[in-house]
Amino acid sequence: MRVVVTGFDSRGGVEPLVALAVRLRERGAEVTVCLPPDEEFERRLTGAGVRMVPFGAPVRPLATKPGPPDLPRRAAEVIAGQREVLGKLEADVLVATGVMPACAGARTIAEELGARYVYATFQQLTLPSPDHPPIAYPGRPFPENADVEQLWDWDRDSINLLFRDVVNADRRGQGLPPIDDVRDYVITPQPLLAADPVLSPWREAELRVVQTGAWLLPDERPLPADLLAFLDAGEPPVYVGFGSMPMHDTDPEQVVEAVRRHGRRMVLSRGWADLTSVGDDCFVTGEANHQALFRRCAAVVHHGGAGTTVTAAWSGAPQVVVPQGADQPYWAQRVAELGIGAAHAGPVPTAESLSAALGIALDRADQAKSVAATISTDGAARAAKMLAP
């Protein structure tokens, strides 16, 4: 069986695809992963022995560029880049993840290839439900005093306003009929929710969602020797990293000061914001094996991406989530509700605000360890069995 997995996402959206590809390969499937050509993406997939075929332009320059994005133009560029590559592949199953227009473009290509199309998401806020609101799109703030049902109507209308013309232009170029509702076309009646059921339980709604659990894979990559030496030289540090977030308004020294107020050393991840600092108590690192690193940390401070949240929960380290947008406020709320850490108020941490949140998280270490034992680790294997029975 030939399975093609495509996504347009940040670095955190790549790790689950590595897990899925490895589990599919174990079932005898021929797997190809199509992603933008960011160096980090290619390095991670190649290191795991997964075939990657790049398409389009890198994500990082777009994600870190200040100012509001031109979403329809970007969507058209992504769809065109996908078509150039995906349309030349052979597939029995095409799995799409990431942003809505990219998934719409992928489904159109699946139609042309005669492949089974499957939509998967790592968070449930793109799936209509009476239990939670959707994510607002830039330039389309929610109407005031709207209830959840009205917000989901607004979400549908926003997606169609931003992306329907782009999607239908691509379809028209292939001689295919237009679609009326981009969201329904992308999600399908039975999407996969690759999120842990303890961290993010799905409650029954109109959609027949299949919650597989998070797509996790034991990461055997060793930590760099100099980072290991730092970890071995003292008490467990606090990890601080904001992944693919640009963090334009964040002063790294405010973050460092917040950790120092607790008498803790820290590991600071540069991330896409290129954060840095100096001092014997602060180790600045590039990309590293989060599974191995988080298990040696007293706490994990991060932006609240789905992948970082579940990895920190799995490690047993308490968390501070500093949400920047999209689904991240949801994960911050869940971390606080489960008692495995704290939700920082707002996207810009100061020494005072982050120190307060870190104090709460450090006091919740026992609960974090308890919840870690409940995290499901077979989500990728479950999904692979469904895709390649």
* 209 within a domain of the structure (yes/no): no
Angle between helices 15-26 and 39-47 (to 10 degrees): 30
Span 168-195, mean pLDDT?
98
Which residue spans within 204-362 are E strands per DSSP?
210-211, 238-240, 266-269, 282-285, 299-302, 319-321, 341-343
Number of domains in the chain: 2
Sequence length of the chain is: 389
Does 68 have pLDDT greater than 80?
A: no
* Helix, strand, coil in percent for the chain, rounding step 5: 45, 15, 45
CATH classification of the domain holding 364: 3.40.50.2000
Instruction: Give the residue among 330, 354, 276, 373 at the shortest CA–CA distance from 122.
Output: 330
Instruction: Give the residue among 17, 61, 62 at the shortest CA–CA distance from 35.
Output: 17
149 and 240 inside one domain? no
Q: In the predicted model, what is the mean pLDDT of the chain? A: 97
Do the Cβ atoms of 152 and 85 come closer than 8 Å? no
In DSSP terms, 8 is beta-bridged to 98
The pLDDT score that the predictor gives to residue 220 is: 94
The pLDDT score that the predictor gives to residue 3 is: 98
364 and 285 inside one domain? yes
pLDDT band of 65, cuts 50, 70, 90: confident
Cα 217–chain centre separation = 15
Encode pLDDT of 201-215 as tens digits: 999 878 999 999 999
Span 293-306, mean pLDDT?
98
Span 359-388, mean pLDDT?
98
Q: How far does the chain reach from its first CA to its final CA, in angstroms?
A: 9
DSSP structure string for 2-69: EEEEEEE--GGGTHHHHHHHHHHHHTT-EEEEEE---HHHHHHHHHTT--EEE-SS-SHHHHT--S--
Span 297-320, mean pLDDT?
98
The pLDDT score that the predictor gives to residue 253 is: 96
Q: How far is CA 342 from CA 73, 113, 171, 264, in A?
A: 37, 46, 45, 17
At position 123, the amino acid (one-letter code) is Q
177 and 237 inside one domain? no
pLDDT band of 67, cuts 50, 70, 90: confident
328 and 246 inside one domain? yes
Encode pLDDT of 321-355 as tens digits: 999 999 999 999 999 999 999 999 999 999 999 99
Q: Structural domain of residue 309, as residue ranges?
A: 225-372
pTM beyond cutoff 0.75: yes
**Which structure tokens are listed for 53?**
């075929």
pLDDT band of 69, cuts 50, 70, 90: confident
Does 50 have pLDDT greater than 80?
A: yes
**Which structure tokens are listed for 305?**
């991406």
How large is the greatest C-alpha to C-alpha distance in the chain, in angstroms?
A: 65
* 161 within a domain of the structure (yes/no): yes
Do the Cβ atoms of 256 and 355 come closer than 8 Å? no
Span 157-182, mean pLDDT?
98
165 and 42 inside one domain? yes
320 and 368 inside one domain? yes
The pLDDT score that the predictor gives to residue 139 is: 85
* 214 within a domain of the structure (yes/no): no
The pLDDT score that the predictor gives to residue 302 is: 98
